[in-house]
Amino acid sequence: MILPTLTMASVKEKLSAFSFKGLLLPLFGIVMFIVLWQAGASRVHTSLGEFPGPVVVYEQWNSLVAEHQRERVKEDKFYVRQEERIAERQAKDPSYEGKLRDYTGKPTFFDQIFTSLYTVLAGFGLASLIAIPLGILIGLNRSVYSALNPVIQVFKPVSPLAWLPLVTMVVSASYVSDDPMFSKSFLTSMFTVTLCCMWPTLINTAVGVAAIEKDLLNVSKVLQLNWVTHVMKIVIPSAIPLMFTGLRLSLGIAWMVLIAAEMLAQNPGLGKFVWDEFQNGSSNSLGRIMVAVLMIGFIGYLLDRVMLTIQRFVSWDKTQLLR
Amino acid sequence: MATHLDISQISIEFPTAKGSFKALDNVSLKIEKGEFVSLIGHSGCGKSTVLNIVAGLYDATEGGILLDGKEVKGPGPERAVVFQNHSLLPWLTAYQNVELAVKQVFRKTKTKKEMHEWIMHNLELVHMTHAADKRPDEISGGMKQRVGIARALAMEPSVLLMDEPFGALDALTRAHLQDSLMEIQKDLNNTVIMITHDVDEAVLLSDRIVMMTNGPAASVGEILHVDIERPRERLALANDPRYVDYRTQVLTFLYEKQRKVEPIHAASASTKTKTAKAAHA
């Protein structure tokens, strides 16, 4: 009788210990933050009113959701109206071919989130496509490393804001098309993100490749693996942990850079939303900006979690502590 | 019998910050087919360097390696190596590790099915079929070394090179693996060069023991023929006068003729060949 009770108790103890650390402590942290935020916010006065506290932010969130829904309803009606008109004219004149025009209403908060998300993924994807192969090459060959290292070290610390004017000018000069597949603003943001976020992946991949155990290289030599097999079977798997460290840093940088680029260049996205609200200067603006700030943080967190999940899936070293 | 592997007057010099360092000087050794040869010597005497030259991982400054009368340059699977710390690819299972070698060597000569059977056969030899789908971090040190041996055997090498294959294992596991190796050797009769610093291991496994002088400029000191019939039984041999005599001869060479003139603390610190080499340089 004693034994089962004991084990039950220990299980309960473990469970409570887990939920204490896993759930209660984070919850406590969040609650403390909200209390301090509310208390602090009411003391900060600006020309646009009080600094937004949690309650105001929650209200603005709701109003942004409502705005988005209204806009969608408007959009649906717009298309229905067009279709009716076309149908009407076709009834009178069967040869008439109507053309549906795109809805050109103001993008809502959620449209901007979507724009930012695919821009950051495109920029990050392009950066990875360049940085991983280049990193492998640099890691494999000391001469390539010596040749490229100074260039990398100089470009690595460049701020996105410095790149932006150049990228804008180059894109508008070289991407001339009557029926563009991508908008210029998208390309400008994307290339700026690519230029700024490729470095951590590049450097970490190179370091990972260069740090392959000598014994494994000897195995490859004894087996006389050809270059492709050597890279695929030995180099890449062995560099994967560091490569992912780089990729996660890159994605974080990409997201930060994108918001800044959108603000400065007035390219569609969350950055533009923040800037527009700032220029708007209504009594709601600060609350809305705060919603955007929290949303930017939350999306950045989600992006990192997604990368972590991929890393857990891909990495062979299941004992590695990932956080 | 004709010479199978001829290590012919090899010397090697390594460039260091203080000028070149001669690690080996005029090492010659002829090995017959199916012979099991151990290289024994103090840490840093260049045993591993000899093995690496035979494997093709180092280039001899002078002299060369002849395999069946032809000079060999660069590494290749016909001189398979069992490395001291297993050197399995940690992201592949035991099966896949052996598969990588088999695919490389028998790509053109075996069908898929034959390759699979050959991989399983080699894992069977080292009694590792039960863990074929386990990755290296999921199995013990001894098991990893078994897979490492399976991988080397699967290349069907004409010379099997073993670099202190059991050095990193505890005594019981080591004994177990030595028995396994003798069992495999009985069937396959491979030509083997094994580096060891374990006197018992050398006497138990070898047909010949090559004792190396201390570096720098190490060379072959004495060669001992171990004339004990196989199969050899560890327990029975323990009190066999021949065994005791061979053992004494090796110990005499190591601790009287080639005594390490190194302070104790340095000697105990230099368990790894590389560190010792650095100390000499």
Judge whether A223 is closer than 8 Å to chain B, CB to CB: yes
User: B75 vs A221: CB contact, 8 Å cut-off?
Assistant: yes
Question: Which chain B positions have a beta carbon within 8 Å of A218's beta carbon?
Answer: 55, 57, 75, 81, 83, 87
pLDDT level of residue A45 (50, 70, 90 thresholds): confident
Which residue of B75, B89, B137 is in closest CB contact with A234?
A: B89
Residues of chain A with pLDDT > 70, as a percent, come to 92
Six token digits for residue A171: 């894109």
CB A254 within 8 A of CB A124: yes
Better pLDDT: A13 or A110: A110
Q: Is residue B158 classed as helix, strand or coil in its secondary structure?
A: coil
At residue A251 the predicted structure's pLDDT band, cuts being 50, 70 and 90, is: very high
Higher-confidence residue: B18 or A256?
A: A256
Q: Does A317 touch chain B (CB under 8 A)?
A: yes
In whole angstroms, what is the distance from residue B264 CA to residue A227 CA?
A: 46
Domain boundaries, chain A: 109-174+182-314
Q: B155 vs chain A: nearest CA distance in angstroms? A: 9
Range A109-174+182-314 classified under CATH 1.10.3720.10: yes
Q: Look at residue A291 in the predicted model and tell me its pLDDT.
A: 93
Would you call B87 an interface residue with chain A, using a CB distance cutoff of 8 Å?
yes
Q: How far is CA A21 from CA A16, A18, A129, B9, B268, in A?
A: 9, 5, 39, 67, 46
Average pLDDT over residues A137-151: 91
**Chain B residues in contact with A229 (beta carbon < 8 A):** 104
Q: What is the pLDDT of residue B207?
A: 93
Provide the number of structural domains found in chain B: 1
Q: Average pLDDT, stretch A136-162?
A: 89
**Residue pLDDT, tens place only, A85-117:** 888 888 888 787 777 788 877 888 999 999 999
Q: Does B106 reside within a domain?
A: no
Q: Which two tokens stand for residue A120?
A: 């950051």
Is B34 at the interface with chain A, CB within 8 A?
no
Task: Extract the tokens encoding B84.
Answer: 């001291």
Q: What is the pTM of this model?
A: 0.80
Give one DSSP letter per residue of A5-74, joined into a string: HHHHHHHHHHHHHHHIIIIIHHHHHHHHHHHHHHHHHTT-EETTEEPP-HHHHHHHHHHHHHHHHHHHHH
* Neighbour tally for A20: CB within 10 Å: 11
Tell me the residue range of the domain where B236 lies.
34-58+70-78+157-210+223-280
Low-confidence ranges of chain B (pLDDT < 50): 266-281
Supply the ipTM of this predicted assembly.
0.83
CB within 8 Å: B135 and A237? no
Tell me which range, A1-15, A153-167, A179-193, B145-159, is most confidently predicted by mean pLDDT: B145-159
**Where does A156-183 have alpha helices with state H?**
160-174
Q: Judge whether B174 lies within some domain.
A: yes
Specify whether the backbone of B21 is left (phi greater than 0), alpha (psi in -120 to 50) or beta: beta
User: Which residue would you say has higher pLDDT here, A319 or B213?
Assistant: B213
Closest Cβ–Cβ partner in A218, A224, A316 for B90: A316
CATH number at residue B243: 3.40.50
